[in-house]
Amino acid sequence: MIHANAKINLSLDVLGTLPNGYHRIESVMTELEFGDTLSLEESPGKGVTFSSNTPLLTSTKRNNCVKAAYLFYAEAGLERSLLIDCRKRIPIGGGLGGSSAGAAAILRALNRVHNVFTRDELMRLGTRIGADVPFQIEGGTAFVTGTGDEITPLVPLRDEGIVVITPEFSSYTAKLFAAIDNNPPKMRPNTAALIKAVNAGELKTASKLLYNVFEDLLAPRERRMVSDAKNKLLDLGALGASMSGTGSAVFGLFGNMESANRAFSDLCASGANCFLTRAKRYDNG
């Protein structure tokens, strides 16, 4: 059994379009303890089969888990048959990196077995699947730029609680990236100040610097839903709140797990779609 952890964007900025057509981003990301679980079973043969507890995920090469397995075997020069079963918990279409997390987990797991690629080589493979995959191979907390392929590790967040609300809409990543070309952000995150605060362990300061340029590009109804979710989290004691990725998930950072748990309980009682977690801990470095 392997874990595929969600991520959140403490900040997200888009700096323009590169000659290859991809967008250059700047983001501070952190890995969460909350995620999906995958079971893998290899055998002689050729082919990848995928199953899940949700019918929304299909066993085709458009599925990032399937794509990651085929890519690994092709680049490693291996012929294997692989069965993948995914117990899905990360909301689909929430900007939490669910499909990328699965791809990253499979690349890491297969490389542990076959020991073919260095960490850097594995991350380069990840860029061929999705922009978030290299970070989710690396994990922790990091400053991510380029097309998601330039990663600078930061001091990890500690045991602060994180509550995530998932409003009932899904954003279309490609549509929002196309929209930002015609609507350059009027406001941008202070990424340098956020990095400084994160590295110094100054959660209160970092929480005031959360910002995501895509919030302003949402349709009015969706923007209201995100704003309502942020206000709920702030009213319940979050030090700061923001949307992750291109949405729809909204997260709040709390000073400790006790206050986060109280907020989570209140949100559950009100019928909100939400979950409680914290940044992924790496006790052994």
Read off the tokens for 30: 């952190």
| 21 backbone φψ class: left, alpha, beta (φ>0; ψ -120 to 50) | left
CB atoms within 10 A of CB 237: 17
Neighbour-count burial of 131, counting CB atoms closer than 10 A to its CB (0-12 exposed, 13-18 middle, 19+ buried): buried
Half-sphere exposure (CA, 13 Å, Cβ side) for 185? 18
Print burial letters for 20-53: b (CB count within 10 Å at least 16), e (below 16): eeebebbbbbbbbebbbebebebeeeeebebebe
CB atoms within 10 A of CB 102: 31
7, 67, 230, 232: the catalytic one is: 7
13, 132, 230, 280: the catalytic one is: 132
Inter-residue contact 157 to 238 (CB < 8 Å): no
Give 121's contacts (C-beta < 8 A, 6+ positions apart).
none
Active-site annotation holds for 7: yes
Q: Active-site residues: which are they?
A: 7, 132
